[in-house]
Amino acid sequence: MAAEFKEISPNASAGAKLGNWLENRFPTLFEAYRFHMSEYYAPKNFNVWYIFGSLSLLVLVIQIVTGIFLVMHYKPDAALAFGSVEYIMRDVPWGWLIRYMHSTGASAFFIVVYLHMFRGLMYGSYRKPRELVWLFGCMIFLALMAEAFMGYLLPWGQMSYWGAQVIVNLFSAIPFIGPDLALLIRGDYVVGDATLNRFFSFHVIAVPLVLLGLVVAHLLALHDVGSNNPDGIEIKGPDAPKDEKGHPLDGIPFHPYYTVHDIFGVSVFLMVFSAVIVFAPEMGGYFLEYNNFIPADPFQTPPHIAPVWYFTPFYSMLRAVTTEMVYVLIACVVGAAGFAVLKGKMSSLFKAVMVAGAAVLVALLLAIDAKFWGVVAMGGGVVILFFLPWLDNSPVKSIRYRPTWHKYLYAVFVVNFLVLSYLGTLPPSVIGGRISQIGTLFYFGFFLLMPWWSRLGTPKPVPSRVVFHPH
């Protein structure tokens, strides 16, 4: 049965008549607007940490739009790629601005995404019922890393070429399938024209489509279960207070309240973003390495090869895993298995399974080269985030109501992550290697021991209603 058209007064304004005409012919759009904006009730105690989701969406749009203009002049050819980038920078009107917006946008994307993920970590936004929202977010993070890595090769500068050479060769460390997998990724026996064309296709078409699909899924899943808040209190649950229309008393419509909130955040972000583009687009070699302004030369290796700053925490984990580190990991596995068997309340059969599993893991650690375990550590640093909803056993969601020492632990985690990021930009050294090993153990210990330490301490009383203090 066809839907009935909504009538409007003949004395209505031209804008109202146009809106009524569109709504009668495209009601799904207006329903989506009401569901996701004007009638989507969000907690009334959002703070500044909640602007980074909208900023991530803004930077994604910037990257897509600037990427479209760059593709108009870029040549995905090993003999022409570097020259086409120089042509964009020097001869295309405003080409330098578009290129710097894209390169700075890549770093800005990771900055806002890291802050967005840390906000989720602080306030327990990955906890029930938002597990799927978190999983989609982690998938977005993985897709973003793939997109950035493939785009990093395209300028065909020295660091692009050799960085891709090093990272792709890491896949050859995987037992049995490694060499064939590395060959498949490169498309040739060395990083060359075939690699450039593959990475260009994935960077421009395949990964952005996946990224857009995941972003839509992330937002739909979020709006189905509702947003979390700094208090970690559910405002839309069956026991939450509601008005006579069924709207949560602790919520406010997303539009216009949080659209204005986000517009303010966008304005501040764009001012900082513009200043970086105009005054420091290379950011001292962190956003754009100086070696990348030199054409790729397969016969001239740069003195120090390191990925861009947003990959360096995981690159530090890769370099931290040496043969000595493997022995430390073996000691940790044996110690953890022994502690579980002696102190754990479990059946004899389960204890035997744990001992057997630990023995198999120790055998694998000894049998396989440390380089492979470094690759595992690098990938595991990202993959472990997927399991966060099931690792956290704290009785409360938000860090506001957890024991005070939890806040210090989270602060140490952040400092550790920043130290690993910095060490990943430096050449290998004995002291830096030791610090990286300690930092890697702390990073994984933070998550793997979370089921234990998150239960420790007495949480503060959680209020039954959202606590909101207007500015």
Alpha-carbon torsion, ordered 29, 32, 34, 38, to 10 deg:
-110
CB 436 within 8 A of CB 377: no
Alpha-carbon torsion, ordered 356, 359, 365, 367, to 10 deg:
-100
CB 218 within 8 A of CB 140: yes
Question: What residues contact 374, with CB distance under 8 A and at least 6 apart?
Answer: 170, 173, 317, 318, 319, 320, 321
Does the annotation flag 471 for ligand binding?
Answer: no
Biggest distance spanned by C-alpha atoms of the chain: 83
Record the tokens describing residue 111, joined without a space: 């900055």
- Buried b / exposed e over 433-454, threshold 16 CB at 10 Å, is bebbbebbbbbbebbeebeeeb
Does the annotation flag 218 for ligand binding?
Answer: yes
Does the annotation flag 102 for ligand binding?
Answer: yes
Question: What residues contact 137, with CB distance under 8 A and at least 6 apart?
Answer: 116, 117, 120, 218
User: CA-CA distance, 337 to 340, in Å (whole number)?
Assistant: 5
Task: For residue 394, report the phi and psi dihedrals to the nearest 5 degrees.
Answer: -65, 140
CB 181 within 8 A of CB 174: yes
Does the annotation flag 255 for ligand binding?
Answer: no
Record the tokens describing residue 203, joined without a space: 């960077």
Does the annotation flag 469 for ligand binding?
Answer: no
Measured CA to CA in angstroms, residue 93 lies from 42, 69, 274, 304 at distances of 44, 11, 18, 34
Give the residue numbers of the binding site for a ubiquinone: 223
Give the residue numbers of the binding site for heme b: 102, 116, 203, 218
Give the residue numbers of the binding site: 102, 116, 203, 218, 223
